[in-house]
Amino acid sequence: MTVLVRTTWLPRWRVKRHGFIAPDETLPLGQTLLAGMQHVICMFGGTVLAPLLMGFDASTCLLFSGLGTLLFFLLLGGRLPSFVGSSFSFIAVVIGATGYTGSGGNPAIPVALGGIFTAGVLYAAIGVLVIVTGFAWLEVLIPPVVTGAIVAAIGLNLAPVAVHDLGAGGAGMAAGLMTVLLICLAATYGGALLRRMAVLVGAAGGYGFYLVLANGFSLALPIVFGDVAQAAWFGWPQFTLPVFQPRAMLMIAPVAIILVAENLGHVKAIAVMTGRNMDHLLGRAFLADGLATILAASFGGTGVTTYAENMGVMSITRNASTLVFLVAGVFATCLGLSPKVGAAIRTIPVPVLGGLSLVVFGMIAAMAGRIWVENKVDFSRPRNLLTVGIALVAGAGDLTVRAYGFSIGGIGVATVAAIGVYHLLKKEEKEDVLF
């Protein structure tokens, strides 16, 4: 059934059953609903893991991930396929600003929220600036070789998370690797429907495989369903108000610069994937992200960004319909408001999440190659080669810089390094290649 929208703010989605699904196209309703749920499940490891690493309430952050996605969808007029989730870029600075020890809840969450709120304001202000002045200066500041380096660094920086979640062996790791295998088989050899739902197929198959090994043969920690049975169907998550402390604000607010570079990289990657120029949407994307971060920080959620993992899912499933993200936003919001459903999804074994992450993070890193190829980046030039090489190692190695109470993690260092090295080497290189 074709979805028709009368207002010019939103596109008129047309049904398409074969080939790549563009942002203004859609699969039939049932497949679209499943695809939206698939995105939330694939991003679940990040949207829940990032808050836990900072000591935040996961259900609260999941709720504002859904609301942020819906806000992004509306402000962008349903033209840019993106899921908004907790940003890993905030982890290091939040821990540094709050002194969080990494165990249990973070008692200084209000202080962190003040800093995150400030970052959201700065992020939104940059969005307004781009809307007013245009994006040309961003093109000069962050050209394709830099955006590709940032995208690759994001995927490589997240790689240890996937490897850690997979474990070091045993039945758990076997289930995680089974998840990877099923995704690869479904994406490559499955029919049209299976290819589009490859990640969901892998998650379900890996979950079932782990359930048999753990609960059936006691080869791993069993999945416990007690919390699911006891949880209510509906309930409000924990809300917290921000406290504005100058030191925390100064430490956390600069993350907005990293988010701009991340989001720029995401938009460029989506443009390459869809074959459409989306530069005119950059300002609104920054503004929407900033407002979503302000909304989340006002009530206890983490800072958010357009989620990198959804690019991997879109690439695997060949579905970039923005309606999928409308469904994903509604689904994530419902999860945040339903303790029972949230408890059920939290039973997904960590190794299975690790398997999902291994595939999706890998697709993020590989997306950089498409950016470079599509933009004909010349790697015989030392300027390009050094920019990418240094950024990749900084991101993959999670190079962290600490000075005067301020800390910036691997993605941030990779972002700064890519931009800095590229513009430092402004002088035209000689024709000779570096190596």
Q: What pTM does this model have?
A: 0.72
The answer to whether residue 97 sits within a structural domain is: yes
Evaluate whether 131 touches 284 at the Cβ level (below 8 Å). yes
Give which of 101, 127, 177, 181 is closest to 353, Cα–Cα: 177
- Number of independent structural domains in the chain: 1
The answer to whether residue 239 sits within a structural domain is: yes
The pLDDT assigned to 46 comes to 62
The pLDDT assigned to 269 comes to 80
The pLDDT assigned to 11 comes to 78
Give which of 339, 68, 72, 91 is closest to 230, Cα–Cα: 339
Over the stretch 210-223, which tens digit does the pLDDT of each residue have? 999 989 888 888 88
Give which of 246, 201, 189, 211 is closest to 359, Cα–Cα: 201
To 5 degrees, how large is the angle CA 296–CA 271–CA 91? Answer: 30
The pLDDT assigned to 433 comes to 56
User: Tokens 């074969």 appear where?
Assistant: 18
Q: Which residues contact 254 (CB under 8 A, 6 or more apart)?
A: 93, 119, 408
Q: Which amino acid is at 43?
A: M
CB-count exposure of residue 299 (10 Å: 0-12, 13-18, 19+): middle
Evaluate whether 293 touches 304 at the Cβ level (below 8 Å). yes
The answer to whether residue 435 sits within a structural domain is: no
Over the stretch 340-369, which tens digit does the pLDDT of each residue have? 876 777 788 888 888 887 887 787 788 788
The pLDDT assigned to 192 comes to 62
Q: Which amino acid is at 180?
A: V
Q: What is the 3-state secondary structure (H, E, C) of the chain?
A: CCCCCCCCCCCCCEECCCCCECCCEECCHHHHHHHHHHHHHHHHHHHHHHHHHHCCCHHHHHHHHHHHHHHHHHHCCCCCCCCEEECHHHHHHHHHHHCCCCCCCCCCHHHHHHHHHHHHHHHHHHHHHHHHHCCHHHHHHCCHHHHHHHHHHHHHHHHHHHHHHHCCCHHHHHHHHHHHHHHHHHHHHCCHHHHHCHHHHHHHHHHHHHHHHHHHCCCCCCCCCHHHHHCCCCCCCCCCCCCCCHHHHHHHCCHHHHHHHHHHHHHHHHHHHHCCCCHHHHHHHHHHHHHHHHHHHCCCCCCEEECCHHHHHHHHHCECCHHHHHHHHHHHHHHHHCHHHHHHHCCCCHHHHHHHHHHHHHHHHHHHHHHHHHCCCCCCCHHHHHHHHHHHHHHHCCCCEEECCEEECHHHHHHHHHHHHHHHCCCCCCCCCCC
The pLDDT assigned to 237 comes to 87
The Cα 422–Cα 37 span in angstroms is: 40
Residue 60, domain extent: 38-221+232-424
For the record, the structure tokens of 307 come out as 């989620």
Angle between helices 255-274 and 309-317 (to 10 degrees): 10
Evaluate whether 100 touches 54 at the Cβ level (below 8 Å). yes
The Cα 435–Cα 423 span in angstroms is: 21
The pLDDT assigned to 390 comes to 95
* Residues of the chain scoring pLDDT < 50: 1-6
The answer to whether residue 406 sits within a structural domain is: yes
